[in-house]
Every structure is written in structure tokens, then in C-alpha cells.
Amino acid sequence: MRAGDVVSLPGDQGEGSALYRIDRVDLAELQQIEAVRIDPEVYMPSPLSDELVGLRPFVAPVPVYPLFMDLPLLTGDEVPHAPYIAASANPWPGSVALYSSLTDQNYGLNTILPIRSTIGSTRSQMSRARAGLVDRGEAVEVKLISGRLESVDRDALLSGANLAAIGDGSSDNWEVFQFQNAEMIAPQTYLLSGRLRGQAGSDGLMPDVWPAGSQFVLLNSIPLQIDLSRNLRRVVQNYRIGPAARPVDDPSFRQLERAFDGNGLRPYAPVHLRAVRQTNGELRITWLRRTRIDGDSWDPIEVPLGEESESYLLRVVQSGEVLRERVLAAPIYSYSSAAQTADGVAGPFTLEVAQISATYGAGLVGRIEVPAP
């Protein structure tokens, strides 16, 4: 036997034969052999995948498109004073981070948006319609940046499906509405019809026309409320928003300054305003209040007040000038002919009534036009 040969010898304790590799042979009066036990399987190549590692092409981060929305209470479970943030980008960076700071220094993480929102803009106008009834007017065309829309049946519509917001892009001017039909007419372009307008008390913000180019946001579970302390209502803060994988000082981040009223605390506009002129020239003015909290039940005789106390602000306006302003504790007011003369009322004028919150102040306004006597 020579060095390099492999021999088989009985194993220890009846393990069977074992292989040994001869490393050294000494020839003298006795033949001395040094060998090392080996296992051939150790030297067999392991199976390796022939697939190559896939390399993703580099995509430079782009600024995201954010929209702040200071909305009324939608479900009642929200933080009343905290606004929503919706964001989109093409391409979407995977997740978006919102940072906030009072002083434009030492930004802290505020909110993470893991999914892009369904955001778009209108390509046709949407005219004013009566709240509480289905708006059967001309369909409004919406072009989306991303996402998709779908139609629902009437039961789903009345249960709150397809809730959306339309506005001018500012944080506090949003009308909340619903739509039943979403007809796709081009890639990411839809015609929305069968609408319920002025939802969640936003009828007080409904203009005569939402023009083409108005912002559209689908209010599903993707837009999130930001973290905002109650004491920071109406305080200007600095925000930076951009890809979550990038540092806050990355050029892809956008910087914004915003202050929010906390419109979840805002009272709804009163309804059913009436001004009945008496034989002596006095105007008897009445209205009905609304509540922003627990107002859906039909069982109570009256809806909950929803505020600390019942209080209203009444204004008499003519040609844009406020002639009279009164704070009232009941939904009724008598405007005497002598008071009308003292105010200089001549010709038709406008009556405006708003419910007052001790926390928020005067809410949205209900108004009627009063003709000349």
C-alpha cells in the first residue's frame, strides 16, 4: 500500500466498514501506516440553483402628491379635531412618511401611509343639488391619478358605500358625497352619477358649481388621520412628506405649512329656515337645529344637542353688509318692523343662522332670502 490509497477497515462497535485515506507509509522492520478516516459524501458538490439573482432597475424617488382634508365626523369613531392625509405618486415609492414640526426643525415622524389613495380631478363641472335626495343631474367626469372606482347597488349606497370628497385642494373646503354608478369611459376615467350630496353636514360648504379641475378623493380606509394634539388646533405647523425609505431632508420630500380648525367639532348648518311676515310688519323667524353626534336614530323625540349648550348666531345681511347680529338661545327670533327700520333694511335681504359650539365657535351657515315687503 502506498500513500494516497483508500482502504476499507471494519468500523468501531459494529458500525460496519469505514474508509481511510493513507497519508504516510514508513518501511522498516515493521510497516507503519498513518491514515485518516474519510467520508466521500463530504466532497460531493451540493445542488445549486442555476437561476440568476434578479436585479431591479433603479427608480429615482419622485415627490408625492399630498392632500390634507379637515373633514367632519364620518363614522363618529374618529378623533374629531384631527384632519386626514391622502397621497399618491407615480411610481408609488412603497410607503410614504409624513413628518411634522412646529419650528421647521427637529422633525418627528407623524404618520406612515402604506398604500396610495385613490385621487383624481374632475374634468367636468358638478352643479349644486339638494342634500338628502339623489342627485340625478349630469354625470361628473373624474380622471384618477391611480386606483379604480366601481358601482354599487342602492342598498350599499344607503349604507355608506362609495364615500368621496370633492374640493378645491385647500384643507378645509371639502364636500363629502356618495355615488352609485361609476362608468369607466377611458383608462382611469369615470363618469359618476346617482350621487348623494352634502353628506356629514357638508351641504353648508356646497357651492353653486364645483368647476372642472376640482380635486377628488375616495374616502375608503386608505386616507388616514394624522397625529395632531388638541392644543395645536388652528396653530400653523410645518410638514414634510415623501418616500418613507428616504431621510426627511431628501430632495424628494415636499414641505407644507398648514393649520387646521378641527372640523369634526364644527356644528352643522341649521335647516328649514322660515321667515313669516306678520300683519304688523314683524318677521317671525324659525329654524331647526341639527346634530353632528348620534343623530341617525329615529327613536328620540329630538336629536341630541351635541354641544355644551344650545346657542345660535343670527345675522341680517344686505348687499354684503351685516345689518344685525344676535346670539340666541332658542331657534326662534322676532324681527320687529321698528328694528328693521333702525337697521336700515330696504328691499330684499338675507337671513343667516349658525349653531354655536363653545369649542369650535360658529358652525356652517343656513340662509334664506327674504323678499321686500
Task: CATH number of the domain at 292, please.
Answer: 2.60.40.10
Dihedral sign of CA atoms 57, 63, 65, 66 in order: positive
| pLDDT greater than 80 at residue 257 | yes
What 8-state DSSP symbol labels residue 263?
A: G
Give 338's contacts (C-beta < 8 A, 6+ positions apart).
Answer: none
318, part of any domain? yes
- Of 324, 312, 317, nearest to 355 (Cα)? 312
Model pLDDT, residue 15: 66
Same domain as 244, residue 287: no
Mean pLDDT check: name the lowest of 16-20, 100-104, 140-144, 198-202. 16-20
Same domain, 247 and 364: no
Q: What is the pLDDT of residue 148?
A: 94
Give per-residue pLDDT as tens, 197-250.
999 999 999 999 999 999 999 999 999 999 999 999 999 999 999 999 999 999
User: How many residues are listed for the chain in this entry?
Assistant: 373
- Quick one: cell of 73? 365626523
Q: What integer best gives the mean pLDDT of the chain?
A: 91
Residues 105 and 226 in one domain: yes
Where does a domain end: 218, 233, 248?
A: 218
Domain endpoint, select from 249, 264, 279: 264
Band of residue 4 on the pLDDT scale cut at 50, 70, 90 = confident
Residue 155: Cβ within 10 Å count: 8
pTM of the model: 0.81
Residue 17: give the domain boundaries: 6-43
In the chain, the number of structural domains is 4
